[in-house]
Each structure stands twice: as structure tokens, then as C-alpha cells.
Amino acid sequence: MTTTIATTPSMSAATPWIRRIPLVVVLMLIPMAAINLVAFILPVARLAMISFIESRSGGVLTDTFTLENYIDFFTDSFSVELISNSLLLGFIVTLATLICAYPIALFLHRVSPRWRNFLFVITISPLLVSSVVRTYGWMVLLGDQGVVNGLLMSAGIIQTPVRLVNNSLGVYIGMVEVLIPYMALSLIAGFGRLDMVFEEAAASLGANSWTRFRRVILPLTMPGIALGCLLCFVLAISSFITPKLLGGGRVFLLATEIYDQAVIQLEWPSAAATSVIVLIIFGLALALYSRVVKRFD
């Protein structure tokens, strides 16, 4: 007998008597649109506008259009230092986070389901703890009288405390810890394609464990790595709380500069211009990411 495997053609979800009422749609979207307008569209538009306005001291805004804020930024050697500090922080922290989060993600991917759920929650739970609290924890750990120095001194490895906070090192350590959950989440999402059979196939073809990692696991997990790196880079160069507290006012980055200009110096046009520079770096990182992703697809 001839049998045809028939599947029901998928129907567009909208049911007819519903599709005729666009008014309902409008009503459902209005509250969200209002929030978006007031707290997103208008602010971003105003930020862009103010970055082109002449700056007066004390937060007074004029109506004069000027490119001065941008010219000032790029002619100031301090700005160049800010950008290079931020980019360096972004790159180093992203790389270190990847190195730390990759084993965690791989472990979570392979551990038995019974443990996976629990460890997954443990891995992402720091996300739900205020970054101020976590940074404070690092100040306690890394301070001159902190836990790490205390342990090292009582072990006789060092005689005087090592400077671990109020410098770039402290910021780097704190940032890596803050970003590990984000990186791990991205990696796990990208590990979906990583099936044990590929490794078994590679092993049956004679690949040792290092070769299997390099030739099978790594390429398959590349999309997750790219996504995680983008996310962490973007979060690192715009992070503010951790650099501010662990840097102790001695680490100068774009993000801390925006805050200082806006809240302490009340130089809003300069702060706006710096923000636009940060957004441009964001755009470049995103463009680089999409190129990398295209290569691996």
C-alpha cells in the first residue's frame, strides 16, 4: 500500500477574529512604548545632542553647537591614556575570564545531570549578588591587611604586604570574577553543538586528548567563545563599580571618567562626548564579532 507521511501544514498562529483588531495591539504596546520613549529614546537622543553643545562650568548648558568636546577629547593626552587603559583592561580581562570560565563550562557540560542543575545555579548565582557586595568582598580579600596578604605573610612567602588593590591588578582580578558567570553562560549556550559522539569519532580515528580538544572541541565551541568574549569585552570597558572601588581612584578608565565628568565636575557635554566614544568602541567590537561569527559559521 502506498502511504504518504503527511504532516499537518503549520498554520500561522493568528486566529482570524483576532487579526482584525490592530487597536488591541496598540493598546498592549503603549505602556512599554512610553517607558522606552521616556527612559531610552529621549535620553539617548539628548545625550547625542548634548555631546555637541558648548560646555560651561557648573552644569549650565548653552544652545551653541560645537565640536569642541570631541576635539578636546582627542587632543588631550589623558584621553588617549583613558582609551588605551580601557581597551587594555577589556582585552586582558576578557582573555583571563575566558581561561577561567572555559573549564567551568566544560565541566558543567559533562557533569551528570543531577549535579549540573545545582552547579549551574551556583555558577550564575553571583550575577544576582550586587556587584558592590562582591567588590567589597575583593577589597577584604586583597587589601593590605586582607586575607591573601595575611596568608602569604604567615606562610613566610612575603615580609611586607603586596599591593593588590588600589591599582590595575586589583581591578583586573575583581573584573574577571565579576564576569565569569556571563562568560560561562555564553559558553554553555554555545556548547549545545558539542556532542560526545564527535569526540568518540575523533578518538576512534586515533586523536589523543589534546588533539581532540584542539581539532574537535575548540572549533565546535567557537561560537560560544565569540559571544562570551564580545559580552565580556563590552561589559569590561563600560564597567564602573569595580574599577572605582578596587582602583581606589588610581585607575583611570573611560567609564570612571564619564562618572567623574558628569557627577563630580558637572561637565555634561564632555561626559556625553566620552559616552559617545564608548558607544563607538561598542559598535566596533560588535562589527568585529559579527565578522568572527561569519568565519566560523
Partner 1 sequence: MIGRMSLPFRMLVALLYIFLLAPILIVLPLSFSNDAYLTFPPQSWGLRWYAAMFRHQGLMEALWVSLGVAATVTILGLAAGVPAAFAIRRYEFTGRDFILNLFTAPLLLPSIVLGLAILLVFVQARLLGTYTGLVIAHLIVTTPYVIRIMLTAFSTLPPSVEEAATMLGAPPFTVFRRVTLPLMMPGFVASAALSFLLSFDEVVISLFITGPRMRTLPVEIFDYVESQTDPMTAAVSVVLVVATLLIIFLIERTLGLSKTVGKS
Partner 2 sequence: MSSAELREHAPAAPIWDAKTPADPTFLKLKGVTKSYGGGFLAVDDLDINLPKGKLLGLLGPSGCGKTTTLRMIAGLQDITSGTISIEGDDISQRPPYRRDIGLVFQNYALFPHMTVAENVAFGLDMRGVSKSEARGRVEEALEMVRLPGYGARKPKEMSGGQQQRVALARALVIRPRILLLDEPLSNLDAKLRDDMRVEIREIQQRLEITTVFVTHDQVEALTMCDLVGVMHGGKLAQLGTPEDIYERPANLFVAEFVGRANVLGCEIEAVDRVRIGSSTYPCDTKGASSGKATAALRPHRIQLSPSRDRSLVSIATNSTHGKVVRVTYIGDVVQYDIDIGGSVLTTEVHTSSAGHSFRTGEKLLCEWKPEDMQIFKGGR
| Residue ranges in 200-219 that form contacts with partner 1 under rule CB under 8 A | 200, 203, 212
Among 5, 133, 155, 264, binds partner 2 (CB under 8 A): 5
And the C-alpha cell for 3? 502511504
Among 8, 57, 75, 130, binds partner 2 (CB under 8 A): 8
Which of the choices partner 1, partner 2, none does residue 100 contact, using the CB cut-off of 5 to 8 A by kind? partner 1
Rule CB under 8 A: say whether 22 interacts with partner 2: no
Minimum Å gap between C-beta 4 and partner 2 is 4
Rule CB under 8 A: say whether 153 interacts with partner 1: no
Rule CB under 8 A: say whether 146 interacts with partner 1: yes
Count the residues of the shown chain that bind partner 2, applying the rule CB under 8 A.
13
Among 18, 80, 162, 287, binds partner 1 (CB under 8 A): 18
Minimum Å gap between C-beta 19 and partner 2 is 9
Which of the choices partner 1, partner 2, none does residue 4 contact, using the CB cut-off of 5 to 8 A by kind? partner 2
Cβ proximity to partner 1, 24 vs 284, nearer residue? 24
Minimum Å gap between C-beta 140 and partner 1 is 5
Which of the choices partner 2, partner 1, none does residue 186 contact, using the CB cut-off of 5 to 8 A by kind? none
Minimum Å gap between C-beta 118 and partner 2 is 25
For β-strands 61-65 and 53-55, DSSP reports them as: antiparallel
Residue among 162, 164, 177 nearest 93 (CA): 177
Which of the choices partner 1, partner 2, none does residue 71 contact, using the CB cut-off of 5 to 8 A by kind? none
Stretch that binds partner 1, among 6-14, 63-71, 85-93, 287-295 (CB under 8 A): 6-14
Which of the choices partner 1, partner 2, none does residue 161 contact, using the CB cut-off of 5 to 8 A by kind? none
- Answer yes or no: are the C-beta atoms of 254 and 270 closer than 8 Å: no
Among 71, 129, 218, 287, binds partner 1 (CB under 8 A): 129
**CA quadruple 279, 39, 53, 56: dihedral, nearest 10:** -110
Q: What is the 3-state secondary structure (H, E, C) of the chain?
A: CCCCCCCCCCCCCCCHHHHCCHHHHHHHHHHHHHHHHHHHHHHHHHHHHHCCEEECHHHCEEEEECCHHHHHHHHCHHHHHHHHHHHHHHHHHHHHHHHHHHHHHHHHHHCCHHHHHHHHHHHHHHHHCCHHHHHHHHHHHHCCCCHHHHHHHHCCCCCCCCCCCCCHHHHHHHHHHHHHHHHHHHHHHHHHHCCHHHHHHHHHCCCCHHHHHHHHHHHHHHHHHHHHHHHHHHHHHHCCHHHHHHHCCCCCCHHHHHHHHHHHCCCHHHHHHHHHHHHHHHHHHHHHHHHHHHHHC
Rule CB under 8 A: say whether 92 interacts with partner 1: no
Cβ proximity to partner 2, 4 vs 154, nearer residue? 4
Rule CB under 8 A: say whether 290 interacts with partner 1: no
Rule CB under 8 A: say whether 82 interacts with partner 1: no
Binding site for partner 2 (CB under 8 A): 1-9, 11, 15-17
